[in-house]
Amino acid sequence: MTAASLEPGYFDRLYADRADPWGFTTSAYEHAKYAATLAALPDARFACAVEVGCSIGVLTRRLAGRCDALLGLDVADAALAAAAARCVDVPWVTFARSTLPMTPPPGAFDLIVLSEVLYYFDADGVVAMAAAARAMAAPAATLMLVHWLGPTPDYPLTGEAAVAAFLAAAPWATIVHQARTPQYRIDVLRAPGG
């Protein structure tokens, strides 16, 4: 039996225990993965981007230099407060509490970043995330998926299973780049149109 999608309270408890639960600010793995993520972006600049599950804003801060407008979404208020503080000097970056996939933010985005988030959902939740991504996508939008390939005992899905479920639920998107290390995979998709 597949575990259910993680509830927002799971993340509230994580941030209550540790301000940086995954070591985003200190991990060499995270810094190398962020560099690879930015290098895999197919365009030099994006007009309007959204990062789903922005956490404390470490990747958000790096993405900001490539975006004219960037919206960071998370379910945990403590994470959003830390992200806003990290990006206080980049006014084109905004943050909002979100419980995607239930209510996608308004607007159309030419970059949708799903980094280390899909395995928090069960299979049905990933299908709903693919539908939400399509609803958020501007014509020819870039979708960036980045996921850990190691064990995920607390999560409903592994990185491999989560990405496979998303790709199966998004036949409307074309794969334009895939890369893999022993620790993570990057999948870059293009939405139709444009």
Domain limits of the chain?
8-190
**Residue 109 CA to chain centroid, in angstroms?**
13
The Cα–Cα gap between 35 and 176 comes to 19
Strand partners, 186: 146, 179
Look at residue 2 in the predicted model and tell me its pLDDT: 47
Contacts of 169 (CB under 8 A, 6+ apart): 126, 127, 130, 131
Look at residue 1 in the predicted model and tell me its pLDDT: 35
Nearest to 78 by CA among 160, 158, 2, 15: 15
In CATH, what number does 8-190 get?
3.40.50.150
Digitized pLDDT (tens) for each residue of the chain, 194 residues in all: 346 766 767 776 766 777 776 667 788 888 999 999 999 999 999 999 999 999 989 999 999 999 999 999 998 898 999 999 999 999 999 999 988 898 889 889 999 999 999 999 999 999 999 999 999 999 999 999 999 999 888 889 999 999 999 999 999 999 999 999 999 999 999 999 96
Structure tokens at 54: 């922005």
What are the DSSP E strand ranges found in 108-167?
109-115, 137-148
Integer CA distances (angstroms), 183 to 13, 33, 79, 124, 158, in order: 26, 9, 24, 25, 12
